């Protein structure tokens, strides 16, 4: 787990709240990997080998796949069911995998969410994995929460657009490019709520998105300790 103030250095707490939060994106380049304890290729392989692909599996994290046509398949919610072979075929075809609610995977992820929730309300972590360059990712969209992107492995290119989404309009017909950002191991990117963006993979990659709702005044959210929930 990395403390919030350390994560956003050298931006600083005062600058974050006055200039960036909910207003502007920023990214922090790193000269070394620093998120390798959060998730790894080995953990992805273990996850895919252990889950019951065809059955109902109600424990987090939950697997989603960005299909070749750009649609999203969710193992738990989608009507169509795929077997283990088809899941691996999607991976080999260059489809990106998403593990939602991935804070349940290990103690480091869980405690990182706890750290963010000192400054936000309830949130979660999603892991994005791609097997190759030019893997299938989502088109231009915006998220309904603030988003902190930990880039763990590989290289990825973010296209960040000037516009913010109107409430509920998270897939625009058009948007004006503001900045292109290339991320490598250990880099951090902050995207405020509603900011349009999209991603290209430049190599096999692992990225973790920590995203959180605003805190409810007078009602701070307190996540259980890791040892209080785990089986």
Express each pLDDT in 201-230 by its tens digit.
Answer: 899 889 999 988 776 666 656 666 655 544
Closest CA to 182 of 4, 30, 19: 30
Residue 55 structural domain: 4-229
Provide the mean pLDDT of the chain: 81
Of the listed ranges 10-19, 136-145, 158-167, the least confidently predicted one is 136-145
The per-residue pLDDT for range 63-105, each reduced to its tens digit, is 888 776 666 677 666 667 777 778 888 888 888 888 888 887 8
pLDDT beyond 60 at 34? yes
The per-residue pLDDT for range 75-84, each reduced to its tens digit, is 666 667 777 7
| Percent residues over pLDDT 90 in the chain | 26
Q: What is the pTM of this model?
A: 0.83
The per-residue pLDDT for range 178-196, each reduced to its tens digit, is 999 999 999 999 999 888 9
Pick the residue with more confidence: 58 or 173? 173
pLDDT beyond 50 at 19? yes
What was the pLDDT predicted at 21?
Answer: 92
How confident is residue 57, by pLDDT bands cut at 50, 70 and 90? Answer: very low
Q: What is the mean pLDDT of residues 120-137?
A: 82
What was the pLDDT predicted at 56?
Answer: 40
Instruction: Give the number of domains in the chain.
Output: 1
Indicate which CATH number applies to the domain containing 174: 2.60.120.650
The per-residue pLDDT for range 141-174, each reduced to its tens digit, is 888 889 999 999 999 999 999 888 876 666 667 7
């Amino acid at each position: 787990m990395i403390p919030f103030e350390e994560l956003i250095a050298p931006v600083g707490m005062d600058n974050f709240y006055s200039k960036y939060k909910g207003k502007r994106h920023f990214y922090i380049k790193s000269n070394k990997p620093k998120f390798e304890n959060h998730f790894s290729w080995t953990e992805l392989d273990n996850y895919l080998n252990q889950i019951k692909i065809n059955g109902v599996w109600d424990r987090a994290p939950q697997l989603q796949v960005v299909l070749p046509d750009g649609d999203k398949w969710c193992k738990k919610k989608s009507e169509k069911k795929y077997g283990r072979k088809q899941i691996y075929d999607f991976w080999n075809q260059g489809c990106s995998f998403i593990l939602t609610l991935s804070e349940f995977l290990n103690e480091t992820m869980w405690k990182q969410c706890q750290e963010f929730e000192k400054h936000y309300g309830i949130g979660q972590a999603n892991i994005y994995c791609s097997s190759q360059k030019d893997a299938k990712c989502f088109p231009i969209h915006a998220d309904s929460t603030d988003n902190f992107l930990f880039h763990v492995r590989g290289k990825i290119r973010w296209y960040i657009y000037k516009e913010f989404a109107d409430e509920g309009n998270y897939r625009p017909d058009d948007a004006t490019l503001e900045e292109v950002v290339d991320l490598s191991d250990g880099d951090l990117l902050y995207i405020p709520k509603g900011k349009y963006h999209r991603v290209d993979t430049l190599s096999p990659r692992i990225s973790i998105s920590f995203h959180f709702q605003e805190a409810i005044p007078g009602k701070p959210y307190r996540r259980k300790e890791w040892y209080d929930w785990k089986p």
